[in-house]
C-alpha cells in the first residue's frame, strides 16, 4: 500500500538543474573513460536505486558499493531486500567526502516513521591495489514486519509494540576477479534485541505471553561475530536499464554466537533477462528470477527469511507470509517498452510490466526457535500476480505496481530499485 510514495516521484521530476554542466576541460578519450570505469565499477551501487547527487557532498539514495560483505541499514543483501521492515517511506540519503582519490568517508542514513538507520564507513583504495578496504559502524531500529503483519501482532510486556534494535561494525575487502565477477570478504560484529521503543525502551527476550523472541540463552540481546562472502557476477548489457544478460548474487556467512547458538547462512539470487518481441520498436524483455537460501544451525529470528512484500511475493505485505530457516522464490516478469520522453535533459523510459511471483519456506517455519507460536499460522506457500508501470532513468527505477494474491486481495506498491 504505497501509493502516497508517488509524491516522492513528483518531487524528483520537478527538481531543476538536472542537465549536465558543460565540462571545463576536454573530456577523456572513450577508451580511457571506459578503462577508468572498469577499475572502479565494483565501488558503485547496484543499478536501479534512487541516485541524486555525485561523488562529493550530499545526495539522495545510496553510494555504497556493490557487492558488500558488511552489515548496515542501506547495504544491499543477496536476497529479499527489506522484507523484514514495516516501512512507510524508506528514504535514504548520504554525505560523501573524498580526502583524495584513495580515501573516502561516507555517511548514510535511512529515515522512516517506522525505521531509523545510520551507517558510517571509511574506504581506502590505493592505486597499487586492485580492490578496496572498507571499515564501517552502524546502528538501526525499526518495526519488525513479521511481528506486525497478517493479523498476528506480537507485543512485549506489558502489551507494548516490539521494535528490533540493531548495531554492529566490520571490515571488508572487495576484489574484482574478472570484468564480470567481484567478490567481497568481510568480518562483522552484530547485535540484535527487541525493545518497547524505537529508541531506548526496555529490552525483553520473551513476548507478553512468555514465548521466547531470541535464541540467546539468558540475555535479551543476541551478539554474533561473522565471516561473510558476497559475490556478484553480471553480464547485463546495462547496469541501470538492462534488456538482456545474467546477474548472479551468491554468498555464505558463518556466524559465531556470543552466548547464542552459531549458524551458517547460504543464499543465492539468479536473474536472467531475455530480449523479447513487442508491439513497437522499443526494447522488450522477459525476466526470470530465482532466489533461495538456507540456514544451518539456529539463526536469530531477525536473520531468518521473511516472505511477502514488494521485494518478495507481491500481493502480500512484508511479513504477512511465513518466516523460515529456508526459502525459495521465483519471479517471471515481462517488460514491454512503452515510450521514451525527455524531461530536464534526462531520458525517461516508461514500460509496462506483467508479473507472477511464487514463494515458499519449504516447510521450515516451525524449525525457527525464538519465533512465537502464533506466527506459525501464516501461509508457507503463496503466489501473487499483477501489472505495473515502470519509469527508468539515470536517477533510478521507479515502480508503481498493483498485485493480487492467492486469496484475491489487491495491494498497490510504489518502490524504487530493482528486485534482483
Q: DSSP per residue over 110-177, as a string?
A: EEETTEEEEEEEEEE--TT-SSEEEEEEEEEEEEBGGGTSTT---EETTTEE-EEEEEEEEEEEEEE-
Helix (H) or strand (E) holding 31, with range, is: helix 30-40
pLDDT class of 370 with cuts at 50, 70, 90: confident
Cell of 221: 540481546
Measured CA to CA, the distance from residue 310 to residue 248 in angstroms comes to 20
Q: How confident is residue 149, by pLDDT bands cut at 50, 70 and 90? A: confident
Tally of CA atoms within 13 A in the half-sphere of 237 that contains its CB: 11
Q: What are the pLDDT digits (tens) for 186-232? A: 999 999 999 999 999 999 999 999 999 999 878 899 999 999 999 99
Other CB atoms within a 10 A radius of the CB of residue 21 amount to 6
Neighbouring C-alpha atoms within 13 Å toward the C-beta of 176: 19
Residue, of 3 and 288, whose pLDDT is higher: 288
Q: Which pLDDT score is estimated for 216?
A: 87
The number of angstroms, rounded, from the C-alpha of 249 to the middle of its chain's C-alpha atoms is 12
Alpha-helical runs (H) found in 268-329:
none
- Locus of grid cell 514463494: 359
For residue range 295-326, list pLDDT tens digits in order. Answer: 999 999 999 999 999 999 999 999 999 999 99
Cell numbers 573524498: residue: 98
**Pairing verdict, β 323-324 and 326-343:** unpaired
Amino acid at each position: 500500500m504505497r501509493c502516497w510514495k508517488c509524491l516522492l516521484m513528483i518531487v524528483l521530476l520537478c527538481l531543476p538543474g538536472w542537465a549536465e554542466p558543460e565540462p571545463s576541460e576536454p573530456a577523456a578519450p572513450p577508451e580511457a573513460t571506459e578503462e577508468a570505469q572498469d577499475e572502479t565499477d565494483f565501488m558503485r551501487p547496484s543499478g536501479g536505486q534512487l541516485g541524486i547527487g555525485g561523488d562529493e557532498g550530499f545526495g539522495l539514495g545510496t553510494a555504497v558499493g556493490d557487492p558488500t560483505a558488511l552489515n548496515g541499514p542501506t547495504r544491499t543483501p543477496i536476497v529479499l531486500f527489506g522484507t523484514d521492515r514495516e516501512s512507510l517511506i524508506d528514504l535514504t540519503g548520504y554525505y560523501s567526502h573524498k580526502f583524495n582519490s584513495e580515501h573516502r568517508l561516507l555517511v548514510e542514513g535511512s529515515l522512516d516513521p517506522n525505521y531509523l538507520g545510520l551507517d558510517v564507513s571509511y574506504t581506502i583504495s590505493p592505486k597499487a591495489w586492485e580492490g578496496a578496504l572498507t571499515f564501517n559502524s552502524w546502528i538501526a531500529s525499526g518495526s519488525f514486519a513479521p511481528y506486525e503483519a497478517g493479523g498476528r501482532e506480537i507485543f512485549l510486556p506489558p502489551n507494548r509494540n516490539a521494535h528490533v534494535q540493531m548495531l554492529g561494525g566490520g571490515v571488508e575487502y572487495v576484489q574484482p576477479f574478472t570484468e564480470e565477477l567481484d567478490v567481497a570478504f568481510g568480518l562483522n560484529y552484530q547485535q540484535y534485541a527487541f525493545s518497547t521503543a524505537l529508541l531506548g525502551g526496555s529490552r525483553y527476550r520473551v513476548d507478553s505471553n512468555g514465548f521466547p523472541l531470541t535464541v540467546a540463552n539468558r540475555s535479551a540481546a543476541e551478539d554474533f561475530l561473522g565471516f561473510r562472502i558476497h559475490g556478484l557476477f553480471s553480464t547485463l548489457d546495462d547496469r541501470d536499464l538492462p534488456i538482456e544478460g545474467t546477474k548472479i548474487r551468491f554468498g555464505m556467512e558463518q556466524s559465531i554466537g556470543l552466548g547464542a547458538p552459531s549458524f551458517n547462512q547460504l543464499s543465492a539470487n539468479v536473474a536472467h533477462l531475455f530480449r523479447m518481441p513487442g508491439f513497437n520498436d522499443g526494447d522488450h524483455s522477459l525476466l526470470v528470477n530465482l532466489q533461495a537460501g538456507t540456514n544451518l544451525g539456529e539463526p536469530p529470528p531477525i536473520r531468518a527469511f521473511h516472505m511477502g512484500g514488494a521485494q518478495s511475493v507481491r500481493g502480500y505485505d512484508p511479513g504477512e507470509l511465513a518466516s523460515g530457516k529456508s526459502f525459495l522464490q521465483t519471479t517471471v516478469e515481462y517488460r514491454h517498452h512503452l515510450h521514451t520522453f525527455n524531461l530536464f535533459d534526462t531520458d525517461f523510459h516508461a514500460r509496462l510490466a506483467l508479473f507472477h511471483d511464487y514463494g515458499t519456506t519449504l516447510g521450515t517455519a516451525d524449525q525457527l526457535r525464538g519465533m512465537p507460536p502464533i506466527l506459525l499460522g501464516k501461509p508457507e506457500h503463496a503466489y501473487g500476480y499483477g501489472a505495473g508501470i515502470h519509469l527508468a532513468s539515470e536517477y533510478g527505477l521507479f515502480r508503481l505496481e498493483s498485485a493480487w494474491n492467492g486469496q484475491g486481495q489487491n495491494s498497490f506498491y510504489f518502490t524504487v530499485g530493482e528486485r534482483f
